[in-house]
Structure 1
Amino acid sequence: MVFERGKRTTDCDILIEGEKIEQVKEFVYLGSLFTNDNKHDIDMERKVNAGNKANATLLAIMNTKSVSRQARLAIHNGVLIPALMYGSESWVWQKKNESRINVV
């Protein structure tokens, strides 16, 4: 992958043992999405969707009266927050993205 600014594209011919390597515009590495324009919007959207999915999965447990508040907080901090925030250290935070994360 070549990280670029603007709309221009750079083609690279990289050969390994005589075989040309495919040049891609995006790929996932260690759970984070990298794009050739180096924007984090799509990765943040993926994390928001993962957080919403985790929320939906945990909803039945979180609404059960037999589960203590302490247990619900432990589930929130141990499951939901990591699913939502994994890889966020490399994000460039913008107001619109921050509000989406806070909604989840």
Structure 2
Amino acid sequence: MTNTKDSQKALKITAEDETTYELEKVKKFKYLGVVITDKNEMEEEIEERIMKGSINLGRLNKFLTSKNVTRQTKKQVYKTVIRPTVLYACETSTLTKKWEQRLEIGERKILRKIYGGIKEQEQ
């Protein structure tokens, strides 16, 4: 048996063949592309998802602002490239009102790029 100080840092597992494995305790790690923290907080993961969506948006900026591409095509690219990047593994987290608003803000930002700005009519 390990003492209390060691058990907080590592977990020792002994296999059937008497081989001992020591697992280090970490505050966070990435598993299948998802950031998992020791307190099961999703803020960091959601921030990373929004950041990756913004990176994709930047990469597609010329395409999304092009006058030669139809809005329908731009929306289809948004739905198949950017949205899945942002929403990857979201079913594993609890969405708070704050993070729901952050995701909606990001979506509106993208849709403004697709549809362009609002032109005011002169009176």
On whether the aligned pair clears a TM of 0.5, the verdict is yes
Question: Deviation digits for residues 5-42 of structure 1, max 9, x if unmatched?
Answer: xxxx9444224633422221111111111111011011
Aligned to 2:35: 33
Unaligned runs of 5+ in 2: 1-6, 107-123
Compare CA radii of gyration and give the structure with the larger one: 2
Once the two structures are TM-superposed, the CA of residue 101 in structure 1 deviates from its matched residue by 1.0
The answer on 1:57 being equivalent to 2:59 is: yes
Q: Which moved more, 1:27-36 or 1:11-20?
A: 11-20
Query: What percent identity do the matched residue pairs reach?
Result: 25
Count of residue pairs the alignment pairs up = 96
Q: What secondary structure does 1:93 align onto?
A: coil
Unaligned runs of 5+ in 1: 1-8
Residue of structure 2 aligned with 1:80, choices 68, 79, 82: 82
Map 1:1-104; keep pairs closer than 5 Å. Answer: 10-15=8-13, 17-104=19-106
Calculate the TM-score normalised by the size of structure 2: 0.70
Structure number with higher helix proportion = 2
C-alpha distance in structure 2 between counterparts of 1:54 and 1:11, whole Å: 38
C-alpha distance in structure 2 between counterparts of 1:12 and 1:20, whole Å: 6
Q: What secondary structure does 2:30 align onto?
A: strand
Structure number with higher relative contact order (C-alpha < 8 Å, ≥ 6 residues apart) = 1
Q: What secondary structure does 2:85 align onto?
A: helix
